[in-house]
Structure 1
Amino acid sequence: MSDHVVQIVQHLRPGGLECLVLDLTRRSRSRSTIISLEGTREEAINAWPRLREFSDRILFMEKPPGLVPRLAVSLARTLTAIGADVVHTHHVGPLIYGGAAARLAGIAKLIHTEHDAWHLDARRRRFIVRTAMRAFRHLLVADAPNVAGQMNLHLGFENIMVIPNGVDTNRFTPGNSRIARASLNLPLGVPMFGIAARLEHVKGVDILIDAMTEFPELHLAIAGDGSERESLIRRVDANGMAGRVHFLGRVDAMEDFYRALDRFCLSSRAEGLPLSLLEAQACGIPVIATNVGGVLDAMDPGSGFVAAKAEPAAVVNAIYGSLARIQVSNPRDFVMEHYSLDRMMIDYEELWHGNTPNQSSDMATA
C-alpha cells in the first residue's frame, strides 16, 4: 500500500490517545507520519523518550497558545510538501486545523476519530465540533459504542463507524509480579492496587486516594504526572497514607507496572474507551473502574468490577466487591478476543485505503 497516511494530534505527551497513534504508525503497512500541532521535537523527545523510535516520522508545527488561523495554511503546505494522501485527525484541535488544511491541500480522504465525548456537554464545544465536521466532511469514527452514541445525541450525526481501541497483546502479557515490583522499587509482600493516568481532575485520582483510606492494608501505586501531583501528595499526607501510596511519575515500561499489581483501578470522572484498562487486563490483572464513557465495553464482565459513580463511596463499594468476588474468567482472554491491536490495525488500514471495515456499524460522512 503506497498511500501516505498523516495522523494529526494536539501534542505528543504520554497519554492513551498518543500511545494509540504511535501504535498505529509503528504497525502500519503504509508510509506514515505524525504531526503534532503543539510543542517542539526536542521538548517532546526529552519528555517522552519513546518518541526516539519515531523521530523520522514526526513533525511539529510549534503552535502557540490560542486560536491561530494561519496555522491551517502552514499545515496545508506541510501536507503538500510531504505528499500526504490521507489525513487522520484525533480530538478537537486537529479536527479543525487538520480539516481545514486537508481541504486547502486538496486531500480527499479525511478521517476523524473521537476518543471521548464528555467535552461535548459544553454548548460552545458542540457548536465548534459540529460546524467543523459539517464543513470539512470527515469520515467519522468513534472508539466505543458509548462515544458514538454521545456524538449522535449531541451532534446529530448518524451511522458513525465504531473501531474499538486495541492494545499490543504481545507486549502486554502476564509476568512475574516480584520482578516487576523490584524494577519499580515497590514493596513486596503487600496487596498492591494501581492507577495509571494523567494527574488531572478529570482522571479522578483524588477519588481513588480517598477511597483507599478505607483499606489500610492496601498499597496504591500511581503512574503518571500532571498539574495535580503536589495537591495529591498533600492529600495523601493529610489522610495519613504516605507510607503506602507510591508516586512513580512517568513509567515507560508500563507492562511491568501492570504486572506489579493485584488490581488495576481507574476512578475517572470522564473517559472514552480507556487503553489502560485494556493493557492491564492483557497482563491478566482484574480491573475496577468508574462507570463512565466506554468503561463497561472495555471491562471483562467475569473479572472486572464497576463503581456506579465517580465518587469515593462508590469506589469503596467496588473495591469490596472485587475483593469478595470469585473470578470466573481471564481478563486477558477478553482483550485477545475483542481489543487486540491487530484487529484495530486491520480496520484502520481498510478505512485509510478506501474500504469500510466489515462490522455492523456503518460509516457516514458528516
Structure 2
Amino acid sequence: MPLNSTTAAPVPLRIMIFIHSLHAGGAERVAVDLANQWYIHGHDVMLVTQTDDRGDVYELNHHVERVALNTAGLRGVMANLRRLYALRITMQRYRPDIVLGMMTTASILSVLASTGLRCQVIATEHTHPPAQELSSFWLRLRRYTYPRAARVVALTRDTASWIVNHVPGSNMAVIPNAVHWPLVNGEPEVAPPQRNGRSRLLAVGRLHTDKGFDILIDAFKDLSTVFPDWDLVILGEGPERDRLQGQIDVAGLAERVSMPGRVGNMRQWYHACDIYVLSSRVEGLSNSLLEAMACGMPSVAFDCETGPREIIRPDIDGLLVTPVEDPQALAAALSGLMHDKQARKTLASRAVDVRDRFSMRRVLSLWQEVFNDIQHQDKKG
C-alpha cells in the first residue's frame, strides 16, 4: 500500500489517547508508540486507561501523563455510565484538542463522553469488524457514534470499505501500523535454542482461535516426514495453549513443535528462524508479519479478508495462500520454499522494503494529515 504523503509543519496539539490497558496486544503497543512519538514531535500527550499500571507490558515515555480510570472489570449499564463520567471528567480537566479512542468500545465511549466539549474524537478499528464479537448494544452504539466522530481510522482499505457500507456517515481514513525498526529488546528475554544444523518455521501471536495455529500444526504434520530436518516454533501466550499442546502431542510432534511462550527479544528469534508463517483466519494488520519481513524473513500468509494482502506483494516479497483455513494449501506453499533456499533468499531480500513502506515517519505523516484536516474543518465550522 502506498504511503506517500506530505504535511505542513505540525501545530502543537493536546492529544488524549484512551485505551483499556497497556497489557500485551497490538493496539496497546501502537497506543504507546504513538504517544511516545507525538511527544517527541512536540505535542502534549496524555494516555488514559481503564486499568492501572500493574501488568503494563509497554514502556511509556515518562513525559506522557498516564491516567488510570480504575473502571476495568465493571459490568452492566451503570458500569458504563461510570466509565463515561470518569472519562468526561478527565477530558474536562485535560481539555484535549484531539481524543483518540483505541479500538471499538474505547472509541464509542470517547465520542459519548466528549458530547458538548471542544475536542475532536478520532475513532479507530484495529480488527476487521466482521471478526469481532460485539453485542447488539455495542453495535447500535457504533452506528450512532461513528458518524459523530471527526474521523474513523481503519488499518486497511477493506476494513474502511466495510465501515462505509455498514456504518453510514463515517468519515474514514486508512492509516496502517508502523513497523518497529530496528527492533528493541524487551522482557522477557529468551535465547533461541541452538540450530544444530536444523531449519525452523516461525509463527508469532496470541494463542487464540483467530490465529489459526491449529491449522498450522496440521500443515506441519503433513510436512514433517518430508522435511525431517525442519521444526516449528510458535511464540505467544493465550487461552488455546492446552488445546494446541494436546494437538501437538496427539500428532506425535512434541519433539518438532515448540511453544516457548511470549518473548521480548523478537529480533533474535526472527534471525534464528528461516520462514515466517501467518496462519490467521482473520487479521487486522499483523505487526509480527511486518517485523518478520523487516528482519529479512521470507514470509507465507493466508490471504484472509484483510491484512496480509496489504503487506505482502505476492511472489515479490512473500506468498499469499488460498483458500484460507486449508492446511493442505498452506503445506504446499511452505513446501516450495522449504525446498528452495534461493527462493527464500530472493523473497527475503525484497521483504525488507517494509522498513520504508511502513516506516514510522510515513505513518506519522498520515496522522498529521488527519489532524490538519480536522483542525481546518473545525475552524470552518
Among candidates 263, 269, 272, match of residue 260 of structure 1: 272
1:12 alignment counterpart? 22
Change (3 A) 1:126 1:266: same
Alignment of 1:89-238 (within 5 A): 89-103=101-115, 106-117=117-128, 118-119=130-131, 124=136, 126-134=139-147, 136-157=148-169, 160-171=172-183, 183-185=191-193, 187-216=195-224, 217=228, 218-238=230-250
Structure 1: runs of 5 or more not aligned = 174-180, 357-366
> Is 2:317 the counterpart of 1:303?
yes
Among candidates 347, 353, 356, match of residue 366 of structure 2: 347
Query: TM-score, normalising length from structure 1?
Result: 0.85
Residue 248 of structure 1: CA displacement?
Answer: 1.9
Could you say what secondary structure the match of 1:161 adopts? strand
Letter in 2 for 1:296: R
Give me the whole-angstrom Cα distance separating, in 2, the residues matched to 1:55 and 1:319: 46
Give me the whole-angstrom Cα distance separating, in 2, the residues matched to 1:36 and 1:13: 10
Residue 194 of structure 1: CA displacement?
Answer: 1.0
Q: Which has the larger radius of gyration?
A: 2
Change (3 A) 1:152 1:4: same
CA contact (8 A) 2:216 2:330 kept: yes
2:31 alignment counterpart? 21
CA contact (8 A) 2:36 2:60 kept: no
Could you say what secondary structure the match of 2:59 adopts? helix
> Is 2:328 the counterpart of 1:313?
yes
CA contact (8 A) 2:223 2:335 kept: no
Residue 223 of structure 1: CA displacement?
Answer: 1.4
Could you say what secondary structure the match of 1:268 adopts? coil
1:362 alignment counterpart? none
Could you say what secondary structure the match of 2:366 adopts? helix
> Is 2:73 the counterpart of 1:64?
yes
Give me the whole-angstrom Cα distance separating, in 1, the residues matched to 2:102 and 2:258: 32
Residue 18 of structure 1: CA displacement?
Answer: 1.6
RMSD value, Cα? 2.7
Number of aligned residue pairs: give it.
Answer: 343
CA contact (8 A) 2:201 2:277 kept: yes
> Is 2:307 the counterpart of 1:294?
yes
Give me the whole-angstrom Cα distance separating, in 2, the residues matched to 1:353 and 1:159: 15
CA deviation map 1:125-168 (0-9, x unaligned): 6433212213x333111111121122223323566211122112
Give me the whole-angstrom Cα distance separating, in 2, the residues matched to 1:163 and 1:101: 24
Structure 2: runs of 5 or more not aligned = 1-10, 376-381
Change (3 A) 1:317 1:123: farther
Residue 275 of structure 1: CA displacement?
Answer: 1.3
Letter in 2 for 1:4: R
Give me the whole-angstrom Cα distance separating, in 1, the residues matched to 2:93 and 2:284: 34
Change (3 A) 1:271 1:199: same
CA contact (8 A) 1:285 1:331 kept: no
Give me the whole-angstrom Cα distance separating, in 2, the residues matched to 1:236 and 1:80: 53
Change (3 A) 1:355 1:78: closer
> Is 2:31 the counterpart of 1:31?
no
CA deviation map 1:232-253 (0-9, x unaligned): 1111111111112221212112
Give me the whole-angstrom Cα distance separating, in 2, the residues matched to 1:7 and 1:285: 33
Change (3 A) 1:158 1:128: closer
CA contact (8 A) 2:274 2:297 kept: yes
CA contact (8 A) 2:221 2:251 kept: yes
Change (3 A) 1:193 1:266: same
Q: Which moved more, 1:327-336 or 1:272-281?
A: 327-336
